[in-house]
Chains A and B, each alone.
Chain A
Amino acid sequence: MTTGALATTRRRFLAGGLCLCCLPAARRAIASPGPFPTDEIAEGVHIRRGFDEDATTENEDAIANVGFIIGRDAVLVADPGGSLADGENLRATIKQKTDLPIKYVVMSHVHPDHIFGAGAFRRDEPIFVGHARLAEQLAQRGDYYAKGLAELLGAKRVGAPVAPTMEVREKAEINLGGRVIVASAHPAAHTMSDLSLLDKKTGVLLTADLVFVGRIPSLDGSLQGWLDELAKLKAIGAARIAPGHGPTAVEWPIGAAGLEQYLKVLERETQQAIASGKDIETAITTVAQSERGKWKLFDDYNGRNVAEAYKELEWR
């Protein structure tokens, strides 16, 4: 082995002082190249279930539910995947199902597990659709996210974030030929750049991370805003929705129950912590513990959610 190769190997296994080779690698999901299985949750609406994990070298950040909608004339990608590698696999999956051109790539919000695959679709020259605040959020965080993912996957398989070329401020209609998709931009909720999609043909709602099922939600926008947006989404007459994490489809609005319960417990107990003079460090370890058994990755995200809720609510 040459010195150059040696250095690469060392870098690859050294994520900022953390030796990946010293971590237990057992039982972690492994993404394989090429097309992956999807569920057709409604006619022409295909969703891949993400792994319920954080990003790892092996899962290539294929941890979010991502998919595509096939119209008469064109295909819309509804979240391009968590890395360039994941995006390539999604593209291969689409090409296996249809020869129609990929005309739209929708990026549901700023988080890397949903949108770092966008680069895989550049060769299709699609319209990249995002919330009006997505570009701003990507400019602030894109490089940081890319660096973190590159430590796990290597820069080549991470790709670079892609800025939206069509920005949605309130609502926009996207016509795939005989099939209209309504994109709605939400005020600060899960993040500050959440975009949901309603397929008017089948009535299916693609909420992305405005709904989590089974995998702990992550709060990165506004707790009050999320509760408000969830109430509005529940009032939409969709029979089924595709959440951003969890099963590829759940019944609606019953599928919102777990998330709503968690957010309300988080709000109530954080308010109580603030009112009783508990500081943020204490709140992080005590709030919403009754929810622990209900969610995967609870210990990885609950503390962060409490910190987010605390800094929002302490100014009320």
Chain B
Amino acid sequence: MNRLWFGFALAVALPLCSAAAQDDETARAGRWADLRQTLFGDRQVLNGDGKITLDAQDRALDAALVPVTIAVQNPADVKALYLVIDDNPAPVAAHVTYGPAGDSRLLKLRVRINDYTYMHAIEETTRGELYETHRFIKASGGCSAPAGSYDAAALADIGHMKIRPAEDSGAGASFAAQLLVRHPNFNGMQMDQVTRLYTPARFLKSVEIDHDGQTVLSLESDISLATDPAFTFAIKGAKKGKLSIKAQDSQNAVFEQSFDLDQLGS
């Protein structure tokens, strides 16, 4: 664009900017209204200020890996959490239901972002109320892309898991840990190196976490999770005993692994 044209365009475009942005906001609000209806029907979704927070980069550094943190103020009241990425092809990135051994105060995930989008975190209380918070995420430019390449060698490791103590270890009544699962979480955009055909979507569909036989949480997910999904969550009680993980992917492959928490360290 030459300087003259740019200056002219600037002059005429300025008054239009806010109108166009408003059109966009209207479309985004409509998208969320549709999603809300699909997920929750006619149930009221209340403002979650003071109940639930959602943290993420305002501008995604890497569209293929955006760390997201959800924190709730009254974990004892929380039955389930949802993370919804409005403009992703499969918007419900995670639906986490807590069991008796789960502490919902903290949930961290890594997701993909396909476009500029609103992200919503919703808590469902034990009384059935819904509280919502949201933020807007800009996709990154440069070399970032939501579909990364995945080395065939890494597929040999599929389903392999790791547990790490999380930095935030709570105030004694519970502790936080991070689960890593080796899985390409193919979203259907990856291509086979040899055949040059698109690899069908294959993603982690569910994860169930038990602590000494009591349910911590169960998670349902889809292609919005980044490659090699990672989850940080909190568990009630002291850091000992056995943590059992059972994960299943969309091709019904089941991956199971147990960890002795006494060996975990801090």
- A interface with B by C-beta (< 8 Å): 1, 6, 9-10, 12-14, 16-19, 21-22, 25, 30, 32, 54-55, 57-58, 110-113, 133, 135-137, 139-141, 144-145, 148, 188, 191-192, 218, 220, 277-282, 284, 300-301, 303-304, 307-308, 311, 314-315
Please give, as numbers and ranges, the residues of chain A lying within 8 Å of B140 by CB-CB distance: 304
B17 touches A22 (CB 8 A): yes
Q: A307-B67, A308-B62 given; name 17 further pairs at CB < 8 Å.
A: A9-B16, A54-B141, A136-B191, A140-B145, A144-B63, A144-B146, A144-B147, A192-B151, A218-B143, A279-B166, A279-B178, A279-B232, A280-B67, A284-B67, A303-B57, A315-B157, A315-B182
| Known contacts A18-B116, A135-B196, A303-B61: A13-B149 contact under CB 8 Å | no
28 interchain pairs, CB-CB under 8 A = A1-B12, A6-B16, A9-B9, A10-B13, A10-B16, A14-B21, A17-B25, A17-B116, A19-B20, A21-B9, A21-B17, A22-B17, A54-B142, A111-B143, A112-B143, A135-B196, A136-B149, A136-B191, A140-B145, A140-B147, A141-B147, A144-B146, A188-B151, A192-B149, A280-B230, A304-B61, A315-B182, A315-B228
Residues of B within 8 A of A133 (CB): 149, 193
Chain A positions within 8 Å of B2 at CB level = 32
- Contact status B17-A57, CB under 8 Å: no
Nearest neighbor of A138 in chain B, beta-carbon distance: B191
In the bound assembly, the distance between CA atoms of A220 and B2 in angstroms comes to 33
Count: A-B pairs, CB below 8 Å: 142
Is B147 a contact partner of A16 (Cβ separation < 8 A)?
no
With both beta carbons as reference points, the residue of chain B lying nearest to A1 in the complex is identified as B12
Q: How far is the CA of A144 from the CA of B147 in the complex (A)?
A: 9
User: What residues of chain B lie closer than 8 Å to A135, measured between beta carbons?
Assistant: 196
Docked Cα-Cα span, A135 to B149, in Å, equals 12
Provide the residues of chain B in CB contact with A140, threshold 8 Å.
145, 147-149, 189-191
Residues of B within 8 A of A30 (CB): 3
Using a CB–CB cutoff of 8 Å, the interface residues on chain B facing chain A are 1-3, 6, 9-10, 12-14, 16-17, 19-21, 24-25, 28, 57, 61-63, 65, 67, 69, 108, 110, 115-116, 136, 138-149, 151, 157, 162, 164-167, 178, 180, 182, 189-193, 196, 198, 226-228, 230, 232, 266
Q: A303 to B145: give the CA distance in the assembly, Å.
A: 15
Chain B residue numbers with a CB within 8 Å of A110 are: 143
Indicate whether A136 sits within 8 Å of B193 (C-beta atoms), given known contacts A277-B166, A281-B69.
yes
B167, A277: Cβ atoms under 8 Å? Answer: yes
A7 to chain B, nearest CB (A): 9
Shortest beta-carbon distance from A305 to chain B in Å: 9
Q: Which residue of B lies closest to A193 (CB)?
A: B149
Chain B, residue nearest A9 (CB): B13
- What distance in Å separates the Cβ of A130 from its nearest Cβ neighbour in chain B? 14
Q: B14 to A145, Cβ gap below 8 A?
A: no
Nearest Cβ distance between residue B142 and chain A, in whole angstroms?
Answer: 6
CA distance A14 to B108 in the complex (A): 32
**Once bound together, how far apart are the Cα atoms of A237 and B10, in whole Å?**
52
B9 and A220 contact, CB distance less than 8 A: no
Q: Given the complex, which residues of B lie within 8 Å of A279, measured CB to CB?
A: 67, 108, 166-167, 178, 232
Decide: A304 and B9 in contact? CB cutoff 8 A.
Answer: no
- B27 closest partner in A (C-beta): A17
**Contact A13:B167 (CB < 8 A) given known A135-B196, A140-B149, A307-B61:** no
Question: Which residues of A lie under 8 Å from residue B226 when comparing CB positions?
Answer: 311
B-side contacts of A12, CB under 8 Å: 9, 13
A301 contacts B16, C-beta separation under 8 Å: no
With a cutoff of 8 Å between Cβ atoms, the chain B residues found around residue A278 in the complex are: 167
A284 pairs with B116, CB closer than 8 A:
no
Measured in the bound complex, the distance between the Cα atoms of B142 and A111 in whole Å is 8
Residues of A within 8 Å of B3, CB to CB, are 30
Chain A residue at smallest Cβ distance from B142: A54
Distance from A190 Cβ to chain B, minimum over Cβ atoms (Å): 9
Of all chain A residues, which has the CB nearest B165? A277
Question: Which residues of A lie under 8 Å from residue B139 when comparing CB positions?
Answer: 16, 148
Residues on A with C-beta less than 8 A from B115 are 16
Chain B residue numbers with a CB within 8 Å of A18 are 116, 138
Contact call B9/A13, Cβ cutoff below 8 A: yes
| Pairwise interchain contact B142-A300, C-beta atoms closer than 8 A | yes
Cβ of A307 and Cβ of B65 under 8 Å apart?
A: yes
